[in-house]
């Protein structure tokens, strides 16, 4: 293409378009999603000879709805799976739900309570039938919400942790673990919810700093203990001191009378006691504290259960029948009456565990439960990461993983519920204990009964990566897609779910890891880095955003904040910006179609500098995006694509193409149509994994395809090094700098965007951009100087280019001075506020890195604004 020397004309007004005038997500998203599903684009083929890439979705609770954490998690997974599908992999994203034992039972029990019934009124069998009925009618609403987000999951493989196949897998692995002495039944201290009346796993306990009371109690003249749970002293069976503590060594082996009870309890020496903490004396209640239980085991102490499953006091005496919260002040009052209270600290803030479902304070409780012996399983899980079979991204979070698996306690897996996988153990009339596998005959006859408990929900979800693929059967899916490729999840459940899947996957699958990579993301927070909370009023409902801004805008907002392992700040303002970005793509593609852009045939070999520049920028973008995807740096993926699309394509290339498309050189216009079509085609492919709906609509229109055709099954772009042109990029960078500086000067002088001004351009030849003078005049709205030209303003650009402008009669000097003065005051205020925050050590310590970086960017921008405005005021005289 030859560069034009004549003044470019303004583009002709469009006459028609293949796309609507404005993008309306509601008119596109549901239609596109139904087309994808009907065409089978999400379906994976185990018989395919393509290389496999598999993700099993972290199963949401059957009671759940799509919250902002799900939306982030699913956006990341969908982006990975869509890209791999386009790269030619046999890509499987397997969906499903978790039966959520406690949460689901609570939902159904609340419905029964509204009818004046309890589960005990119905009986176990009828109650479970009611739960299944609720699941069929109301459960799983989140699956429909996943469709709204655009999840490209293989719906033909949808699984549920209580379906027949997964139940068989649960029974199989329980039997295998039992036979290998890796499952046992014992009395241990567990987390107990007095409201849900069940044991809880560690992940089902939420800790918060609560206000309580620390009471110091004198047991004898020499023994004083402190406790936040005074009522538990009724179950004390010893006082412990450090064996080397000189203050108490002489008391070890003696006894002391336990106040209020008349019982005498021993004083024992135990290295667990910290002599520097408090008085150095610790009350020991083995049935109600995990550390006390261990002390009790070491010293063969009796365990006295002093409250029942509902946290009601059971020991004989004046406190019998009181609730724990009634007993606590009553015990303190009785001790005070006896002169036993040495000190009281109120309020005393300390960490307290709460049931994650009903928020009731959890009680440590000695209970007969089923446990997994995690020792050998946890070691295997640690070894798999250490030897590289599974890689954790980001790598620095591996330390957290090892801290957990290298120090794992045995896992309490029994729950006192009716909804869940019932423990497959039968007890006989003469003390027999039989564990039954899925193909074993169930014991029958008088006196035989099955264990009443069900398994922890996390037990079945620990099998998810292989049970969903058909295990214990040796299925084609299992052979093709296991080990799965990547697990995407929040760092908050690295210890619990991820580690348990590693343990069971390696155990059941002969040392094969359940996934090759664990990609961890952070928690979604508001734009200030604050945790989302209903009490703060900053909770984001992704369904609301999808309704108002579209699924693509919601996804792009979340992905653009997602750096590996870091928390993700979001705001409604940013989602509005993402919607604007989708609109920008829509308008650019619509302009291209109106002006004849297409994707037919090979790229032309004779290219203008501008065409060579945009193709070169495209190759760099493809390379960057590939690198960022492989490193799970989704924020950088989005940032790279955003700037290429908005800056390079829309703001520059489309504008530079306009005079060519409307000029007199038909051959040049046709070459530009082809390059513009190619660039948009490649850009829409690159963007598709993150914003699938708008890109598919635009790509199909650009390529003039219908029916089952979709960008999601088009090939992923590959960078072509032959198209990288450093000279063209340098030349266009100089052109952009000149135009940008002139535009900034015009804005500072208060010139309207469309107002033309006479200008003289000097130094273009030396800068190597003389051929582009007509384009620069077109973009900067500059006329060729005529008679009487007088330069009233000068713009000097790096590289030796000088632009002299005649602005006489174009601006109102007084009004412009007032405007600039107002803008300067606003910039000074921004500087003051940003400087104050950045000087606040408390803010810097708590704020996320992205928030601090953005604040520093705002400060630098405001400082630059002051410098620029001062220069503009000086120009005005």
Q: How far apart are CA 187 and CA 758, in angstroms?
A: 91
The beta strand positions in 40-151, using DSSP E, are 52-56, 90-94, 96-97
How would DSSP label each residue in 751-774? --TT--EEEEEESHHHHT-GGGHH
Residue 269, H or E segment: strand 264-269
| CA-wise closest residue to 636 among 716, 561, 703 | 561
Q: How far apart are CA 596 and CA 702, in angstroms?
A: 10
Exposed/middle/buried for 337, CB within 10 Å: 0-12, 13-18, 19+?
exposed
| 480 and 52 Cβ atoms separated by less than 8 Å | yes
| 193 and 415 Cβ atoms separated by less than 8 Å | no
Measured in degrees and rounded to the nearest 5, phi and psi for residue 389 equal -65, -35
Report the alpha-carbon angle 558-560-565, nearest 5: 80
Exposed/middle/buried for 75, CB within 10 Å: 0-12, 13-18, 19+?
buried
| 197 and 119 Cβ atoms separated by less than 8 Å | no
| DSSP bridge pairs for 226 | 216
512 is in an annotated binding site: no
CA Rg value for the chain: 35
Q: How far apart are CA 438 and CA 422, in angstroms?
A: 12
Tokens encoding 209: 């700093």
Looking at the chain, how many residues does it have?
877
| 549 and 581 Cβ atoms separated by less than 8 Å | no
Residue 654 CB coordination number (10 Å): 22
Cis amide prior to 483 (ω within 30 degrees) = yes
Measured in degrees and rounded to the nearest 5, phi and psi for residue 651 equal -80, -25
Cis amide prior to 205 (ω within 30 degrees) = no
| CA-wise closest residue to 522 among 148, 144, 242, 849 | 849
| 552 and 684 Cβ atoms separated by less than 8 Å | no
Residue 68 DSSP code: H
Q: Pairing mode, if any, of strands 449-450 and 454-455?
A: unpaired
Q: How far apart are CA 711 and CA 694, in angstroms?
A: 11
Q: How far apart are CA 858 and CA 330, in angstroms?
A: 58
Residue 22 CB coordination number (10 Å): 9
In the chain, the N- to C-terminal Cα span, in Å, equals: 45
| CA-wise closest residue to 575 among 113, 65, 75, 27 | 75
Sequence-separated (6 or more) residues with CB below 8 Å from residue 755:
781, 810
Residue with tokens 């109690």: 217
Measured in degrees and rounded to the nearest 5, phi and psi for residue 588 equal -65, -45
Task: Return the exposure string of 682-695: e unless at least 16 CB atoms fall within 10 Å of the residue's CB, then b.
Answer: bbbbbbbbbbbbbb
| DSSP bridge pairs for 259 | none
Q: Is 472 left (phi over 0), alpha (psi -120 to 50) or beta?
A: alpha
Tokens encoding 605: 């070999």
Angle between helices 666-687 and 634-643 (to 10 degrees): 160
| 205 and 356 Cβ atoms separated by less than 8 Å | yes
Which residues does the annotation place in the binding site?
534
Which residues does the annotation place in the binding site for ATP?
534
């Amino acid at each position: 293409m030859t560069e034009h020397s004549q003044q470019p004309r303004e583009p002709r007004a469009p006459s028609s378009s293949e796309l609507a005038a404005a993008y309306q997500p509601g008119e596109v998203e549901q239609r596109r999603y139904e087309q994808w599903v009907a065409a089978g684009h999400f379906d994976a083929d185990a018989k395919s000879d393509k290389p496999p890439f598999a993700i099993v979705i972290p199963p949401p609770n059957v009671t759940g709805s799509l919250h902002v954490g799900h939306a982030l998690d699913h956006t990341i997974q969908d982006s990975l799976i869509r890209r791999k599908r386009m790269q030619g992999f046999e890509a499987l994203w397997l969906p499903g739900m978790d039966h959520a034992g406690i949460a689901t039972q609570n939902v159904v029990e609340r419905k029964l309570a509204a009818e004046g019934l309890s589960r005990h009124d119905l009986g176990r069998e009828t109650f479970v039938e009611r739960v299944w009925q609720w699941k069929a009618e109301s459960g799983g609403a989140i699956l429909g919400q996943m469709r709204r987000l655009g999840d490209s999951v293989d719906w033909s493989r949808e699984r549920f942790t209580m379906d027949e196949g997964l139940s068989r897998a649960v029974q199989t692995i329980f039997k295998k673990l039992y036979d290998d002495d890796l499952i046992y039944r014992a009395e241990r201290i567990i987390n107990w919810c007095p409201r849900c009346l069940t044991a809880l796993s560690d992940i089902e306990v939420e800790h918060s700093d609560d206000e309580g009371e620390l009471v110091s109690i004198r047991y004898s003249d020499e023994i004083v203990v402190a406790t936040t749970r005074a009522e538990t002293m009724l179950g004390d069976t010893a006082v412990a001191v450090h064996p080397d503590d000189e203050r108490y060594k002489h008391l070890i082996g003696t006894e002391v009378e336990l106040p209020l009870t008349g019982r005498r309890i021993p004083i024992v020496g135990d290295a667990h006691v910290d002599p520097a903490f408090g008085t150095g004396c610790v009350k020991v209640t083995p049935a109600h504290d995990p550390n006390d239980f261990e002390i009790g085991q070491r010293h063969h102490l009796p365990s006295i259960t002093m409250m029942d499953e509902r946290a009601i006091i059971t020991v004989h005496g004046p406190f019998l029948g009181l609730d724990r919260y009634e007993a606590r002040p009553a015990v303190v009052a009785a001790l005070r009456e006896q002169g036993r209270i040495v000190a009281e600290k109120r309020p005393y803030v300390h960490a307290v565990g709460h049931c994650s479902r009903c928020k009731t304070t959890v009680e440590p409780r000695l209970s007969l439960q089923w446990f997994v012996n995690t020792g050998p399983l946890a070691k295997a899980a640690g070894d798999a990461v250490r030897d590289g079979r599974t890689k954790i991204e980001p790598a620095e979070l591996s330390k957290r993983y090892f801290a957990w698996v290298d120090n794992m306690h045995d896992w309490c897996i029994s729950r006192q519920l009716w909804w869940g996988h019932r423990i497959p153990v039968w007890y006989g009339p003469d003390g027999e204990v039989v564990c039954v596998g899925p193909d074993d005959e169930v014991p029958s006859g008088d006196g035989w009964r099955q264990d009443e408990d069900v398994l922890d929900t996390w037990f079945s979800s620990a099998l998810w990566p292989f049970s969903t693929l058909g295990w214990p059967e040796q299925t084609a899916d299992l052979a093709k897609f296991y080990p799965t490729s990547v697990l995407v999840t929040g760092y908050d459940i690295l210890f619990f779910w991820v580690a348990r899947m590693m343990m069971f996957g390696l155990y059941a699958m002969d040392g094969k890891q359940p996934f090759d990579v664990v990609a961890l993301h952070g928690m979604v927070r508001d734009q200030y880095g604050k945790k989302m909370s209903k009490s703060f009023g900053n909770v984001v409902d992704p369904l609301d955003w999808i309704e108002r801004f579209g699924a693509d805008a919601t996804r792009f907002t979340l992905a653009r904040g997602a750096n590996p392992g870091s928390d993700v700040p979001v705001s409604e303002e940013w989602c509005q910006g993402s919607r604007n970005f989708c609109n920008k793509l829509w308008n650019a593609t619509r302009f291209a179609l109106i002006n004849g852009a297409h994707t037919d045939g090979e790229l032309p070999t004779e290219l203008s500098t501008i065409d060579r520049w945009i193709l070169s920028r495209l190759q760099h973008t493809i390379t960057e995006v590939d690198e960022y995807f492989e490193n799970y740096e989704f924020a950088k993926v989005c940032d790279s694509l955003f700037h290429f699309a908005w800056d390079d394509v829309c703001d520059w290339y489309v504008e530079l193409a306009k005079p060519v498309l409307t000029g007199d050189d038909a051959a040049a216009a046709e070459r530009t149509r082809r390059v513009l079509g190619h660039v948009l085609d490649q850009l829409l492919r690159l963007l598709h994994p993150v914003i699938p709906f708008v890109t598919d609509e635009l790509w199909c229109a650009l390529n003039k395809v219908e029916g089952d055709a979709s960008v999601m099954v088009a090939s992923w772009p590959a960078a072509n090094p032959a198209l990288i042109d450093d000279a063209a990029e340098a030349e266009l960078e100089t052109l952009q700098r000149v135009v940008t500086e002139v535009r900034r000067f015009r804005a500072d002088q208060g010139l309207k965007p469309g107002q033309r001004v006479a200008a003289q351009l000097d130094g273009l030849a030396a800068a190597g951009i003389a051929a582009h003078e007509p384009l620069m005049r077109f973009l900067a709205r500059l006329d060729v100087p005529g008679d009487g030209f007088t330069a009233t303003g000068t713009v000097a650009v790096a590289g030796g280019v000088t632009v002299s402008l005649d602005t006489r009669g174009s601006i109102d000097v007084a009004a412009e001075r007032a405007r600039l003065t107002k803008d300067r005051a606003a910039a000074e205020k921004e500087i003051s506020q940003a400087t104050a925050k950045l000087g606040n050590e408390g803010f810097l310590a708590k704020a996320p890195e992205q928030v601090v970086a953005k604040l520093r960017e705002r400060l630098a921008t405001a400082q630059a604004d002051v410098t620029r405005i001062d220069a503009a005021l000086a120009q005005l005289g």
